[in-house]
Structure 1
Amino acid sequence: MRVKELLKEKGITAKELAGRMNISEGALSLSLSGNPTLERLNQIASALNVSVAELFEPQNESTSLHCPHCGKLITLKAE
């Protein structure tokens, strides 16, 4: 799932997301590390203001990350 990526994009923390969902941060963590129910997926999507599909869809066919040594943006493209 892309929840961590979406949190970063939206500038919110897991704790804030849990608060929006009226659950504990621990309960959210358990849901994300396990196999969440459809109800929980709907809650997460609603709290992030995205569709359930967006929780799983990649942004595009490439992935970008920052080099841990120099900080330069590196883009990886799937073939």
Structure 2
Amino acid sequence: MSLNIKRAIKEHGLEVREVAKRMEITPTGLSQHINGNPSVEVLERIASAIGCDISELFDQPKNNTTGIACPHCGKNIKIKIEDVR
């Protein structure tokens, strides 16, 4: 599951510089977190500054599909879930 922090910021009507200000860090520092591999603590601070749940910082699975990585090669395995009502 990948991060999509910029999308969450935009969806909440904010800009990176405003979120950085709320976090009391520089916009460059926030950009480094966005483009890097932030810790859970940093993700919690970002979510708090945006005013959202931490789950909103992650890409959501597409409808009716679940992505699973192969434990041997790491390639994505897609499984389509069908509604059998």
Tell me if TM exceeds 0.5: yes
Q: TM-score, normalised by structure 2?
A: 0.64
Q: TM-score, normalised by structure 1?
A: 0.68
Query: Structure 1: where are the runs of 5+ without partners?
Result: 62-78
Q: Distance in 1 between matches of 2:27 and 2:45?
A: 14
Q: Distance in 2 between matches of 1:30 and 1:44?
A: 12
> What letter is aligned with 2:40?
L
> What letter is aligned with 1:36?
P
Counterpart of 1:43 in structure 2 is 45
Q: CA deviation at 1:6?
A: 1.5
Alpha-carbon displacement from aligned partner over 1:33-69 (angstroms, at most 9, x marks no partner): 11101111010011111121221142863xxxxxxxx
Query: Structure 2: where are the runs of 5+ without partners?
Result: 64-80
Determine which of 54, 57, 65 is the counterpart of 1:55.
57
Counterpart of 2:11 in structure 1 is 9
CA contact (8 A) 2:6 2:34 kept: no
Counterpart of 1:20 in structure 2 is 22
Of all paired residues, the percent bearing the same amino acid is: 37
Counterpart of 2:77 in structure 1 is none
- Structure 1 residues 64-75: aligned runs within 5 Å: none
**Deviating 4+ runs (over 3 angstroms):** none
Name the count of aligned residue pairs. Answer: 64
> What letter is aligned with 1:52?
I
Higher gyration radius (CA): 2
**What is the root-mean-square deviation in Å for CA atoms of aligned residues?**
2.3
